[in-house]
Amino acid sequence: MKEMARHFEKYIDIEKLFSLGTKYAEEKLPEMNLFWKDVFKAYLELNSKNEFRSPDTFLASSLFYNDNLKIGREVIYFRQFYEKGIRFINDMINTNNNFFTLPEFQQHSGININFLQYHGLVSSLKSFQKRTK
């Protein structure tokens, strides 16, 4: 079992697998042997059937490598967010259950992000949220 886990970890970071969206696993497919490709294709197929029907499911969705969240037709990944523990949509919500404003987010997270990047992210989040209702 340990040998299989070590082999698996050659291809993919387990922590990232469970905290990032499916696009992360898709990007790793070309590096995998046939066995792991089949495993991850099944994982991706199962994940594609996940429907976001409730606010809780939406809030628990990954911010990054999530096919439902794009800026300029590209999935999102902000390494600084990931490293600071900002990984899920819920991490972008303030105590009033609204998305943080840019100044609130910067104060809360300690991350310095420019206006356009932040508002592109929030716009993508709002668009995804509308599709889940």
Question: For the chain, what are the domain ranges?
Answer: 2-48, 55-131
Token readout for 42 is 């099944």
CB 44 within 8 A of CB 22: yes
Token readout for 98 is 């609204």
CB 105 within 8 A of CB 80: no
pLDDT (tens digit per residue) in 24-48: 778 877 888 888 888 878 877 776 6
Banded model confidence at residue 53, pLDDT cuts 50, 70, 90: low
* pTM of full prediction above 0.85: no
Give the amino acid at 33: N
Token readout for 15 is 């922590």
CB 63 within 8 A of CB 118: no
Residue 106 Cα to chain centre, angstroms:
20
